[in-house]
Structure 1
Amino acid sequence: MSTPTPTRPARPAVPGTAQATLLVAEREILSQLRTKSFVVSTVVMLALVLGGIVLTSLLGDRLGGGDTKVAVVPETAAVVADVDGLEAVDAADADAARELVESEEVSAAVLPDDAADNPLGFVVVGLDSAPEGVLGALSVSPPVELLDEADTSAGVRYLVSILFGAVFLFAASSFGGQIAQNTVQEKQSRIVEILLSTVPPRALLAGKILGNTVLAVGQIAAIAAVAVIGLVITGQDDLLGLVGAPVAWFVVFFLVGFILLAALFASAASLVSRIEDTGSVLMPVIMLVMIPYFAVIFFNDNDLVLTIMSYVPFSAAVGMPVRLFLGTAAWWEPLLSLAILAGSALLVTAIGARIYSRSVLRTGRRVTLSEALSKSS
């Protein structure tokens, strides 16, 4: 009687490249979402965005957004009725109007004056000094014709430009730095050797990029949603109409642009084996992230610089949305800029994958770029 030959357990199937990429991306996303620091920082940031919008609205109403109250009598009500910036407060007579001024319930009073040397027929009554704001509002100015009228004020232009640059800087540096840190930690602890026993290097890199891109774009979308809610509840719908389309384009440009930056962060970090050595290899990438932020601070009123920024791959995510907000970009320009950015992202990712796959398993001294890119590696 023959004994049956024991069968060996079947080896688990090796996942394909696409499946391995998704598994690594899922691992990156879940590990971040389970980190208290990530959750807390995200909630705090969203609260700051909402609080900043609400606070700005409240301060605007208190510090100059509201109209100046002026007491009027029936004879002078028409003088203030159609003046921007002034709110008429009815008084029964001149004495009642003066009492409102003395009690500081109004900033001034406009009363009838029949003096022969006063052709206007009314006088402005103040408390202890001339109410310059009321006098300025009542003064008659000639009409002004502008040959090249700006669509937005300088203050709003500067604020929106800074916001685009700051959000880009924060999201790109934080998530890009996380990719670099995870890459070096896995290499230093030799965990990467275990991962690469079942996952190809390019799939590991692609999964890291995909997972952190989902997290970064999700955070950007959350900021945009909270900003929209804040503008709606504070009644700033006019500003929402101006920034709505540029914000949507910003999310799209950031999605593609972050893939380029993520490949740079991961491939640069794979060249070293210790956290202490990441500063030198990441400095060029960090500079690429910081340049768009400082460029919009110093050159937000320079159309030539903004145009150049909108076509340079690492700054297009800031330059093009700012130009769309200002109305200086033609309809086809964001499409052309996005195509250039996508092509650059594909090229940089391919080069980054080559560097990553040839250096991620090499420990000890720092791997140079020439060694990582050479055919003999």
Structure 2
Amino acid sequence: MTAAPWTTVARREIVTKLTDRTFLLSTFGLVVIIAGVLGVQAWLGSRTTEYAVVTSSAAAHRMAEKVETVAEASGDNLQVTLQAAAGDGVAKAAIEDGTADVWLREDGDGWVLTGREDVAAELRSAATTAIRDATLDANAEAAGTTVDALTRGSEVRTSVLDGDADRAGVAKAVGFALAMLFYLASFTFGLALANSVVEEKASRIVEIITTKIAVRQLLAGKVAGNLVLAFAQMALFVAVGLVGLTFTDYDRFLPAISGAVGWFVVFFVVGFGLLACLWAVAGALATRTEDVQTTSTPLTMLTLGVFFAALLTTGTTKVVLSFVPPFSAILMPMRVLEGTASWWHALVALAILVGAAALVVRAAARLYQRSLLQTQGRLTVRQAWSTPE
């Protein structure tokens, strides 16, 4: 069975791009950057910070042991090592020569942490908690009661209306990454597609090609080829990101992120296909490579608008735009990730995006077909629309 002509065009687009050194180097470079950023995050999250605490009395040493226990139970990769000094002078000398980081000692009714230049915030927090708890236990025992009895009813819990703060932070970071991927794919592949069209048009090669296959088949092949490439590149970046995320402290969010990424993939395919058709039209309207900058300006602004909408919109504006094509291609998956949109919201937005894409494809096919073989000069959309086939 003979393959459809558009598949031959699509295969040619893919092979041409895969043999382009610039494309391969840029893809590899982005993979290295993504892996590097996540690698640094994983290293910072797993690094253990160690502090040496010196004491000069038995009571201070017992309190330092409690600080050690609290620090190691904090979950902040904090480790405390203890040193016993023969006296205050020896302990102070240990701080001055860097043998110890902090000197813990009694001072009247309280305790003092002495560092050479500063006392680390995480160590100060652990010491404050340990000393407070130990003091409360001692005072409660002296009063013939318990800490639980003294503190009953004083517990303070926190809650937020918009969900978990860590999840919100992760959602924002992942949303930014997905928006950036969509923008890069739409702009880089779209611009390359427009330039490819105008180069074939300027060299008159397209006149030969269109004697063998229909113009609509040529458009379909170019869009499909670039869609496959953009999707493969995006999938590579996302896969590296998800694998890298497993080595960080945010791996618990992977199930939620994976679900949102699934929606992003579907929206990406439809949204990119819509924009790719318009980029092909931008190339067909031009006669020279220099003209592409003019014919693609509205499309460039639209692509930037989608990107900045993903970064800047909030509240009602974000909700409304998440149903408006092509903004919905990014905003709806972001809202799913944030937990502010349910699955049926996503289905409604996808149905609207598919309907809009179908209309755009029909209009783009007409514009492309009527302007591709026009070589007398740059065309406007109105001129191309009214040009006879």
> Normalising by the residue count of structure 1, what TM-score does the alignment of the two structures yield?
0.83
Aligned to 2:358: 346
For 2:193 and 2:100, how far apart are their aligned partners in 1? 59
1:279 equivalenced with 2:293 (yes/no): yes
Task: State how 1:113-262 maps to structure 2 within 5 Å.
Answer: 113=106, 117-118=109-110, 122-129=111-118, 131-139=120-128, 143-148=156-161, 150-153=163-166, 156-234=170-248, 236-262=250-276
Cα gap change, 1:101/1:329 in structure 2, threshold over 3 Å: closer, same or farther?
A: farther
Task: State how 1:253-332 maps to structure 2 within 5 Å.
Answer: 253-299=267-313, 302-332=314-344
CA shift, 1:234, in A, is 5.0
The size of the alignment, in residue pairs, is: 352
Residue range with higher mean Cα deviation, 202-211 or 69-78:
69-78
Aligned to 2:69: 81
SS at match of 1:270: helix
1:91 equivalenced with 2:83 (yes/no): yes
For 1:100 and 1:333, how far apart are their aligned partners in 2? 63
Aligned to 2:51: 69
SS at match of 1:90: strand
Task: Return the letter of the residue paired with 1:173.
Answer: F
CA shift, 1:295, in A, is 2.1
CA shift, 1:356, in A, is 0.6
Q: For 1:343-377, what per-residue CA distance to the aligned partner results, in whole angstroms no more than 9, with x for missing partners?
A: 11111011100111111011112223223223745
Q: Is contact 1:71–1:100 with CA below 8 Å preserved after alignment?
A: no
Gaps of 5+ in 1: 1-12
SS at match of 1:329: coil
Task: Return the letter of the residue paired with 1:20.
Answer: P
For 2:117 and 2:374, how far apart are their aligned partners in 1? 80
Gaps of 5+ in 2: 55-60, 133-154
Which structure shows the bigger proportion of residues in helix conformation?
A: 2
Cα gap change, 1:29/1:170 in structure 2, threshold over 3 Å: closer, same or farther?
A: same
Q: For 1:88-144, what per-residue CA distance to the aligned partner results, in whole angstroms no more than 9, with x for missing partners?
A: 323346768766644546542444x3x6533xxx44232244555433444469734
For 2:164 and 2:100, how far apart are their aligned partners in 1? 34
CA shift, 1:173, in A, is 0.4
Q: Is contact 2:52–2:101 with CA below 8 Å preserved after alignment?
A: yes
SS at match of 1:332: helix
Cα gap change, 1:223/1:132 in structure 2, threshold over 3 Å: closer, same or farther?
A: closer
> Normalising by the residue count of structure 2, what TM-score does the alignment of the two structures yield?
0.81
Q: Is contact 1:313–1:344 with CA below 8 Å preserved after alignment?
A: yes
For 1:315 and 1:105, how far apart are their aligned partners in 2? 59
Q: Is contact 1:107–1:131 with CA below 8 Å preserved after alignment?
A: no
For 2:310 and 2:52, how far apart are their aligned partners in 1? 42
Residue range with higher mean Cα deviation, 309-318 or 215-224:
309-318
For 2:115 and 2:13, how far apart are their aligned partners in 1? 67
Task: Return the letter of the residue paired with 2:354.
Answer: A
Residue range with higher mean Cα deviation, 92-101 or 214-223:
92-101
For 2:185 and 2:272, how far apart are their aligned partners in 1? 9
Q: Is contact 2:197–2:284 with CA below 8 Å preserved after alignment?
A: yes
1:372 equivalenced with 2:384 (yes/no): yes
Q: Is contact 1:70–1:108 with CA below 8 Å preserved after alignment?
A: yes
For 1:347 and 1:106, how far apart are their aligned partners in 2? 72
For 1:308 and 1:100, how far apart are their aligned partners in 2? 63
Cα gap change, 1:213/1:128 in structure 2, threshold over 3 Å: closer, same or farther?
A: closer
CA shift, 1:239, in A, is 4.6
Cα gap change, 1:306/1:358 in structure 2, threshold over 3 Å: closer, same or farther?
A: same
